[in-house]
């Protein structure tokens, strides 16, 4: 019997289809003399410290550094049944085909099962990049020996065991030191988790300590050819000064010398002006690509206030309970040809599931034969973008969050089958007294996909034929600019110098932090470390020197929040006293992304066979031992956590969670409000003070029982139901009982 072990069930089913004659047996599929089974991601996990040494169950400084080698695995409890199935099939097999995802983690995921079971059976490797039956059939003719991928597997193993060694030892080291000072909390340290906290702390401190400076924006108004320009602001063409390279500027090329700016104004105003460049170009803006998990998390956080972890949980429910979407942990934004061929069925399913959601004209403009840039098999990795399936789910059975996430995924998908937005971009340059000013305007000629999705700068992507940020400037300015030609003459009527204050980078929201975690290399000062981080992501779409993965980042944010290292205030991530002091107490190697970069360099050496996994871990253990010798928590405010928890707990909380984000709702004398988002309900409505139970009912059921004692503006008493009109803000409305 030849046994195929896929990373996940979806791939296993594709392999079975490619083999043919499949008979589903539950945890595996029989295909003649072949059998296909699968994992559920990892089926094994590294054992906890106390499994290495029972004494480690109790945290003692004398036990540090913990001895966790050789590493050992154990079956993950929630998937133990499937592991038993896989292990039993391995015992029966004569040959095994490793069908993990074609990356380092996918290689390790199956290899660790083979190692754990102790099998000596011959093992082949099949590389399948997408869930395409024909592609899988082709891949099955190109099996390779699994030993060719030993280095790749070992590089992933080094990272996995290294994270455990570093995290457990450093966390215990700092936590135990803090307990000597009276601290009670766990001070967790992780290779990725701690640099994330570092980003939050550094951004907060930069914002708080920002010293405002002035820069000067110079703009001018022109009258050309004596045209009546009353359709433009003030009857003049507004144009911005083109700052030359030798001007006194900051790193954003903004003028910082007021005298220089004033001199431009005084020497240019009322001087003759000439048009030196005038052009109008037709341009197009493609629809934003379908969602990856991170892009979906950013969108749901920004538009609906949904935490990243909640979005991940909702997508899992949509996949498991409704079969409504494709693989939900994908880091890819592209689709394959098979999904293009399935488009008519998928569009029909979405239209049925969300009937009445989309404007009829938008649905009429959908063209399943339109193959846009999203369909690019060359950019599809182990998984494709998250899109709806061809099965129409019953959205009436979905929760509010499930429907919101499904609608967002479906809307982004449908946009791929609408025309590109088209517009004309006009640009004119004027020269007066040797100074150049430029004015621009744009005019939409075809709404295209923007009839369905709002165009935003965050979705704009640069490149030929791709969208550029900006909105229409109105017909007046556009008409004037397009009427001008090179050598047209006139006068510079006015020049304005406007002093602007520099602003710090804004405090992180969850959405902006998630986006920044894709490109933390931009904050690294060491050029070598920066290059290593960027090279690590060279084959990963959307990542450019990032840390963590789309699926783990949300989990780490939750851990940091639960550890009380930061709080959320009006969507802003604010580090606590504990979080700030802890980051300052840690060595920079723990708080910066440098360790991820340096590990990547060594993992490359392991993959190439120039370094062993054991050598890497030997060096790491020496490094950890040295770090534990220098643990210093003297500056850590270990009592800050208790104080902050006390402040948080001084208010009573409702049992009902926030209907917008799922967080707690606190009860104060003046307001019922969410601890994490903008949801709030005022307790006094139309002269009536609502009880806690009444508000609880409004939030949990969306409508109260009939309440008596309201007073109208005319001073008359009345009774009504209170209805939750907007779950995002807490806005309420009256619903009146039928007249008897």
Residues designated catalytic: 327
Three-state DSSP at 125 gives strand
Assess contact for 488 and 224: CB atoms under 8 A. yes
Beta strands in 212-264 (DSSP E): 214-224, 237-241
Residue 33 burial (10 A CB sphere; 0-12, 13-18, 19+): exposed
Which neighbouring-strand residues pair with 45? 74
H/E stretch holding 106 reads: helix 104-117
Q: Which residues of 592-630 are buried (b: 16+ CB within 10 A; e: fewer)?
A: bbbbbbebbebbbbbbeeebebeebbeebbeebeebbee
Residue 218 burial (10 A CB sphere; 0-12, 13-18, 19+): buried
Rounded-to-10 torsion of CA 286, 292, 294, 297: 80
> Could you check whether the bond before residue 157 is cis, i.e. omega within 30 degrees of 0?
no
Helices 293-304 and 550-562: crossing angle in degrees, nearest 10, is 50
The structure tokens listed for 127 are 């590389």
> Could you check whether the bond before residue 70 is cis, i.e. omega within 30 degrees of 0?
yes
Query: Residue 322, Cα to own-chain centre: how many angstroms?
Result: 23
- Give one DSSP letter per residue of 620-668, joined into a string: HHHHHHHHHTT---TT--TTHHHHHHHHHHTSEE-SSPPTTT---EEE-
Cα–Cα distances in angstroms (integers) from residue 455 to residues 50, 412, 416, 459, 726, in the given order: 53, 12, 14, 7, 24
φ and ψ at residue 412, rounded to 5 degrees: -60, -35
């Amino acid at each position: 019997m030849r046994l195929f072990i896929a990373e996940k069930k979806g791939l296993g089913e594709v392999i079975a289809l490619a083999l043919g004659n499949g008979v589903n047996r539950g945890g595996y599929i029989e295909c003649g003399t072949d059998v296909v089974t699968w994992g559920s991601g990892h089926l094994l996990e590294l054992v906890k410290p106390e499994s290495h040494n029972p004494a480690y169950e109790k945290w003692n400084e004398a036990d540090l550094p913990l001895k966790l080698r050789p590493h050992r695995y154990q079956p993950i409890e929630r998937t133990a049944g499937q592991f038993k199935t896989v292990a039993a099939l391995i015992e029966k097999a004569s040959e095994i085909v490793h069908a993990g995802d074609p990356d380092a983690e996918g290689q390790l995921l199956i290899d660790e099962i083979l190692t754990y079971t102790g099998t000596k059976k011959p093992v082949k490797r099949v590389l399948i990049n997408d869930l395409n039956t024909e592609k899988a059939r082709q891949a099955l003719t190109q099996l390779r020996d699994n030993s060719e991928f030993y280095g790749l597997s070992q590089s992933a193993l080094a990272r996995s065991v290294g994270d455990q060694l570093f995290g457990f030892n450093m966390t215990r080291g700092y936590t135990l030191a803090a307990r000597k000072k009276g601290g009670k909390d766990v001070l967790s340290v992780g290779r990725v988790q701690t640099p994330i906290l570092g980003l939050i702390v550094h951004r907060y401190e930069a914002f708080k300590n920002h010293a405002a400076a002035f820069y000067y924006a110079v703009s001018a108004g022109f009258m050309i050819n004596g045209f009546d320009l009353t359709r433009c602001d003030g009857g003049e063409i507004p144009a911005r000064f083109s700052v030359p390279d030798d001007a006194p500027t900051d790193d954003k090329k903004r003028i910082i010398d007021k005298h220089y700016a004033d001199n431009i104004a005084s020497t240019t105003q009322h001087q003759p002006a000439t048009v030196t460049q005038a052009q109008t170009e037709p341009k197009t803006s493609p629809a934003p690509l379908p969602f990856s998990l991170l892009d979906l998390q950013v969108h749901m956080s920004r538009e609906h206030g949904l935490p990243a972890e909640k979005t991940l949980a909702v997508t899992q429910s949509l996949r498991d309970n409704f079969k409504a979407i494709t693989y939900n942990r994908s880091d890819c934004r592209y689709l394959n040809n098979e999904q293009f061929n399935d488009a008519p069925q998928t569009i029909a399913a979405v239209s049925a599931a969300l009937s009445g959601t989309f404007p009829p004209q938008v649905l009429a403009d959908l063209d399943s034969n339109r193959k846009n840039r999203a369909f690019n098999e060359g950019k599809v990795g182990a998984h494709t973008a998250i899109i709806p399936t061809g099965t129409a789910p019953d959205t009436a059975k979905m929760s509010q969050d499930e429907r919101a996430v499904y609608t967002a995924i479906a809307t982004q998908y449908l946009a791929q089958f609408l025309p590109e937005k088209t517009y004309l971009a006009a640009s004119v340059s004027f020269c007066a007294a040797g100074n150049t000013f430029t004015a621009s305007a744009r005019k939409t000629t075809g709404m295209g996909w923007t009839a369905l999705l709002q165009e935003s700068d965050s979705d704009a992507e640069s490149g030929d034929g791709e969208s550029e940020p900006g909105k229409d400037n109105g017909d007046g300015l556009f008409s004037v600019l397009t009427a001008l030609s090179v050598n047209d003459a006139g006068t510079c009527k006015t020049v304005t110098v406007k002093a602007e204050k520099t602003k710090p980078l804004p405090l992180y929201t969850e959405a902006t932090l998630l986006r920044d975690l894709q490109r933390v290399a931009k904050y690294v000062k060491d050029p070598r470390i920066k290059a290593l981080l960027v090279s690590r992501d060279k084959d990963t779409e959307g990542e450019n020197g990032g840390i963590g993965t789309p699926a783990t980042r949300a989990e780490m944010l939750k851990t940091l929040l639960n550890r009380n290292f930061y709080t959320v205030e009006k969507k802003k991530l604010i580090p606590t006293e504990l979080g700030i002091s802890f980051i300052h107490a840690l060595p920079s190697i723990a708080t910066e992304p440098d360790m991820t970069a340096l590990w990547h360099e060594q993992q490359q050496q392991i993959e190439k066979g120039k370094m062993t996994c054991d050598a890497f871990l030997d060096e790491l253990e020496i490094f950890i031992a040295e770090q534990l010798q220098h643990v210093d928590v003297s500056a850590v405010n270990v009592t800050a956590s208790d104080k902050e928890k006390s402040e948080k707990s001084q208010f009573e909380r409702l049992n009902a969670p926030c209907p917008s984000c799922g967080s707690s709702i606190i009860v104060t004398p003046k307001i019922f409000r969410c601890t994490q988002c903008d949801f709030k309900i005022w307790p006094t409505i139309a002269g009536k003070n609502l009880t806690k139970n009444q508000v609880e009912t409004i939030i949990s059921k969306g409508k109260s029982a009939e309440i008596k004692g309201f007073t109208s503006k005319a001073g008359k008493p009345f009774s009504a139901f209170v209805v939750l009109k907007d779950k995002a803000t807490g806005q309420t409305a009256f619903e009146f009982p039928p007249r008897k």
